[in-house]
Structure 1
Amino acid sequence: MQIITGDETGLLKLIDLEKKEVVRKFGEQGKEFKIIQILNLKISDISFFLVLREESLVLLDNELNEITQISIDASPLKAFCDSNHDIYIIYTNRKINHVKYDQEQNIFLQQVNINSNDFLPLTNCKDKYVTSAAISDDQALLLVTYFGAPPSIFNLKLKKLQWQSRNVKNDELDLQVKMHDYDGLFLDDYSVGVITTHLTLRIYSILEQRSQPVAEHSLKHSKTKIKLIRAYNEKYYMINERGEILIYKKDFKFERMIKGTFGAVRDVAFNKEYIYTVSIDRFLRVYHNENVRIPLSINLSQRLQAINFYCAEYKDIEIEKKQEKIWTIQNGKEAKARFAGMRRHTIKLPYLDKMFQNHKLNKQKKEQQKLKQEEEQMEIKQEYDEEDQQPKFRSIENKKISKQQQKKKILGLKKQKLLDNKPNRKMK
């Protein structure tokens, strides 16, 4: 399996997880080339990579060759792309740009700034900025959270504000901290969830148009602030500042915590039973949902920002050689399935499964070795104790014998005195 990552220096790296090495690189190092996000763009059933950088938006093919790019304003926060090739770029200064990709000419059309009064209700606020953004499943609604302002939902098709929450009571007074929402997501078509600075998850109902939260869930299991929330396979994954992954069930009951990252996690990807994370400690890590240990970790030398799967399009051919299926790309090149340039739903990780089994076997062996060592130590202790206690027991017995002898002597002396004084007295 292969994964593509982006770092702060502006380099894109294609990593083969089976070989644990970098296969291909793209990009130049520099602040203006800092990679923020990696998206997938499908054109006529062929996948392309859409890379959001600090000052540009780049379209790459499967081999990481540049097709086209467009210059954008600095400090973008996030980008979204729908099926109609409409790209929305969200900035921290409460601005949203709309970019259209022309499939026939292979160019980005001129970007348009959506700056209507309805779409940007915070134009006169200097200390309020965007912290996160999330798009709905139908790619029509955009949830935006702010620092110092309540979360809002915008309609991308109508290009106007659709819903906005109100400040919850004491939000701006509690601990003298302004209202701060770190991240949010669409729970379903009718509700959204927002993580606050008070370690709570607030749920708002869009259908009823309520501005106050419908429910609140405490996230007390995390000792630090939670910065990311993701939904996958009917579970919610929340990541805090320490890089710990907290797993919650669908009803927001705490299930377990996964540790192992030193520093903040910048991006997360999911595939079946595995979780892929990139963080500022320069490591790409693979976690298993049921295993505490980390099956795989690779040091990539730079602070990582983004991650995505290498989704080259393959077709299955009904040919088998040595129990291995052969896959082909549309342009005629062939590659074996073990190089895993497949779609997400066909990706297989046999080597990770083997590693997971090996971890279980190693764990059992270590437990058995510990039990043997404990038994040997117990036997040694018993022998030592017996040898050490023998002289103690002897001394105690000698003391008892000496005491009895002394008692007998005392009794004998008393009897003799009585006989001397009263010789006619009968003694028992």
Structure 2
Amino acid sequence: MQIITGDETGLLKLIDLEKKDVIKKYGEQGKEFKVIQILTLQISDISFFLVLREQSLVLLDNELNEITQINIDSSPLKGFCDSNHDIYIIYGNRKINHIKYDQDQNIFLQQKTLNSNDFLPLNNCKDKYVTSAAISSDYSLLLITYFGAPPSIFNLKLKQLQWQSRNVKNDELDLQVKMHDYDGLFLDDYSVGVITTHKTLRIYNILQQKSQPIAEHSLKHSKTKVTLIRAYNQKYYMINERGEILIYQNDFKFERMIKGTFGAVRDVTFNKDYIYTVSIDRFLRVYHTENVRIPLAINLSQRLTAVNFYCSEYKEIEIEKQQEKIWTIQNGREAKARFAGMRRHTIKLSYLDKMFENHKLNKLKKEQQKLKQEQQSIEIKQEYDEVDYQSKFKTIENKKIKKQKQKQKILGLKKSKLLVNKPNRKIK
């Protein structure tokens, strides 16, 4: 399996996970080439890479050869691409640009701003800016969260503001903290979830205009602020500033936490039972959703900002042929990857089932050993208690016998003294 990553210097690297090596590179180093996001664009059932950089939008083929590019404004925040080759770029200054890709001419058409008069209530405010953006499944609604303003939804087709929440009590008054939402996503067609600076997840109803949250879920299991939220396989994955991955069930019940990253995670992607993360500690890491171990970690020498798969066709072919080779730690030892630069000794297993079978067998063996140890300890305690009780009983009996003998001796002495000192009384 192959994966592509982007970093702060502007380099794109194509990595083979089996060889754990960089196959090909693309890009130049510089601040203006910083990689923000890596998207996929499908043209006639073939996947291409759409790279959003600091000042340009680049289209690459599967071998990282440049097809076309277009200059954009600096400091983009996020980008989205639908099946009709409509590309939307969101900026931190509350601006949305629309770019259309022409498949016949292989060029990007001129970009247009989608902001209408209804969507500009925040332009006069200097301290309010966009923190995150999420798009609905049909690519028609855009959820935007702000610093200093409530979250809102923009309709991309109608080009107007469709929904905006109301300020929650104590957000700006009693706590004296401005509203700051880090990330959000569409839970379904009728509700959205937003992560706040108070380590809570607020759920809003889209059908109610200027609505307050329907429910709030505390993220108390995270000691620091949660900055990213992703949904995958009916579970929610939340990542905090430390790089810890918190897994919540569909009803937002806490399931478990995955540790292993030293520093903030910049991007996350999923594939079957695996989680792929890139972080500022320069490591590409692979996690398993149901296992504590870190199967793979590769140091790529630069601070990573984006990650994506090579292409969907290659993934399907490789999974069918090789059944997705994975990596586990030798002798079942857990990988501790909290610090950068740690060396790991890994071995390859050819099938996924073998790993889980060995894992289950190890669990059963450990449980059996625990039961045996408990039984042996119980038997030893019983024997010790019996011996101890017998010895104590014997000592008590001996003491009683000694006391009785002493009493008999004392009584015998008293009787003998009485007989000796008995007065001779004669009756006159």
Q: TM-score, normalised by structure 2?
A: 0.80
Alpha-carbon contact 1:204-1:210 (below 8 Å) kept? no
Structure 2 unaligned regions, length at least 5 = 326-348
Report the alpha carbon displacement of residue 132 of structure 1 after superposing the two structures with TM.
Answer: 0.3
Report the alpha carbon displacement of residue 143 of structure 1 after superposing the two structures with TM.
Answer: 0.7
SS at match of 1:422: coil
- What does residue range 52-131 of structure 1 map to in structure 2 within 5 Å? 52-131=52-131
Structure 1 unaligned regions, length at least 5 = 317-326, 329-334, 342-348
Deviates more, 1:29-38 or 1:368-377: 368-377
Deviates more, 1:238-247 or 1:162-171: 238-247
The residue aligned with 1:15 is 15
Report the alpha carbon displacement of residue 279 of structure 1 after superposing the two structures with TM.
Answer: 2.3
Q: Which amino acid aligns with 2:70?
A: I
Report the alpha carbon displacement of residue 200 of structure 1 after superposing the two structures with TM.
Answer: 2.3
- What does residue range 268-279 of structure 1 map to in structure 2 within 5 Å? 268-279=268-279
* Whole-Å separation in 1 of the counterparts to 2:403 and 2:13: 88
The residue aligned with 1:193 is 193
* Whole-Å separation in 1 of the counterparts to 2:30 and 2:371: 55
* Whole-Å separation in 1 of the counterparts to 2:210 and 2:7: 40
* Whole-Å separation in 2 of the counterparts to 1:261 and 1:230: 17
Report the alpha carbon displacement of residue 17 of structure 1 after superposing the two structures with TM.
Answer: 2.6
Report the alpha carbon displacement of residue 37 of structure 1 after superposing the two structures with TM.
Answer: 1.0
* Whole-Å separation in 1 of the counterparts to 2:387 and 2:187: 69
Residues 315/204 of structure 1: CA separation in 2 closer, same or farther (3 Å cut): closer
Alpha-carbon contact 1:87-1:99 (below 8 Å) kept? yes
- What does residue range 228-377 of structure 1 map to in structure 2 within 5 Å? 228-311=228-311, 313=313, 337-338=321-322, 351-365=351-365
The residue aligned with 1:322 is none
Alpha-carbon contact 1:194-1:201 (below 8 Å) kept? yes
* Whole-Å separation in 1 of the counterparts to 2:396 and 2:157: 96
Alpha-carbon contact 1:99-1:112 (below 8 Å) kept? yes
* Whole-Å separation in 1 of the counterparts to 2:278 and 2:359: 23
Report the alpha carbon displacement of residue 160 of structure 1 after superposing the two structures with TM.
Answer: 1.9
**Cα deviation code 1:371-428 (max 9, x no counterpart):** 677788899999999999999999989877766665554344333322322399xxxx
Alpha-carbon contact 2:323-2:351 (below 8 Å) kept? no
The residue aligned with 2:217 is 217
The residue aligned with 1:346 is none
SS at match of 2:418: helix
Q: Which amino acid aligns with 1:143?
A: L
Q: Which amino acid aligns with 2:305?
A: Q
Residues 83/95 of structure 1: CA separation in 2 closer, same or farther (3 Å cut): same
Report the alpha carbon displacement of residue 144 of structure 1 after superposing the two structures with TM.
Answer: 0.5
Report the alpha carbon displacement of residue 179 of structure 1 after superposing the two structures with TM.
Answer: 0.7
The residue aligned with 2:343 is none
SS at match of 1:305: strand
Report the alpha carbon displacement of residue 156 of structure 1 after superposing the two structures with TM.
Answer: 1.3
The residue aligned with 1:146 is 146
Alpha-carbon contact 2:115-2:160 (below 8 Å) kept? no
Q: Which amino acid aligns with 1:27?
A: G
SS at match of 2:292: coil
Q: Which amino acid aligns with 1:96?
A: I
Report the alpha carbon displacement of residue 285 of structure 1 after superposing the two structures with TM.
Answer: 2.6
Q: Which amino acid aligns with 2:72?
A: I
Report the alpha carbon displacement of residue 20 of structure 1 after superposing the two structures with TM.
Answer: 3.1
Q: TM-score, normalised by structure 1?
A: 0.80
- Count, aligned residues: 401
Deviates more, 1:405-414 or 1:45-54: 405-414
Q: Which amino acid aligns with 1:420?
A: V
Alpha-carbon contact 2:323-2:352 (below 8 Å) kept? no
* Whole-Å separation in 1 of the counterparts to 2:162 and 2:392: 88
* Whole-Å separation in 2 of the counterparts to 1:380 and 1:300: 56
Residues 108/378 of structure 1: CA separation in 2 closer, same or farther (3 Å cut): same
Q: Which amino acid aligns with 1:120?
A: L
SS at match of 1:313: helix
Residues 73/240 of structure 1: CA separation in 2 closer, same or farther (3 Å cut): same
SS at match of 2:417: helix
SS at match of 2:415: helix
Q: Which amino acid aligns with 1:180?
A: H
* Whole-Å separation in 2 of the counterparts to 1:75 and 1:252: 34
Q: Which amino acid aligns with 2:80?
A: F
Alpha-carbon contact 2:166-2:210 (below 8 Å) kept? no
Residues 49/352 of structure 1: CA separation in 2 closer, same or farther (3 Å cut): farther
Q: Which amino acid aligns with 1:155?
A: N
* Whole-Å separation in 2 of the counterparts to 1:123 and 1:315: 44
The residue aligned with 1:332 is none
SS at match of 2:118: coil
Deviates more, 1:15-24 or 1:123-132: 15-24
Alpha-carbon contact 1:142-1:156 (below 8 Å) kept? yes
% identical aligned pairs: 83
**Cα deviation code 1:208-254 (max 9, x no counterpart):** 43432233333333332221111222222222223232333333333
Alpha-carbon contact 1:190-1:206 (below 8 Å) kept? yes
**Cα deviation code 1:241-287 (max 9, x no counterpart):** 23232333333333333333333222221222222222223333333
Residues 396/272 of structure 1: CA separation in 2 closer, same or farther (3 Å cut): same
* Whole-Å separation in 2 of the counterparts to 1:393 and 1:32: 89
Alpha-carbon contact 2:151-2:164 (below 8 Å) kept? yes
Residues 253/388 of structure 1: CA separation in 2 closer, same or farther (3 Å cut): closer
Deviates more, 1:16-25 or 1:361-370: 361-370
Report the alpha carbon displacement of residue 155 of structure 1 after superposing the two structures with TM.
Answer: 1.4
* Whole-Å separation in 2 of the counterparts to 1:386 and 1:195: 62
Report the alpha carbon displacement of residue 78 of structure 1 after superposing the two structures with TM.
Answer: 0.5
**Cα deviation code 1:149-197 (max 9, x no counterpart):** 0111111122222221221222112421101111111122222221212
**Cα deviation code 1:112-133 (max 9, x no counterpart):** 3344432332111111111100
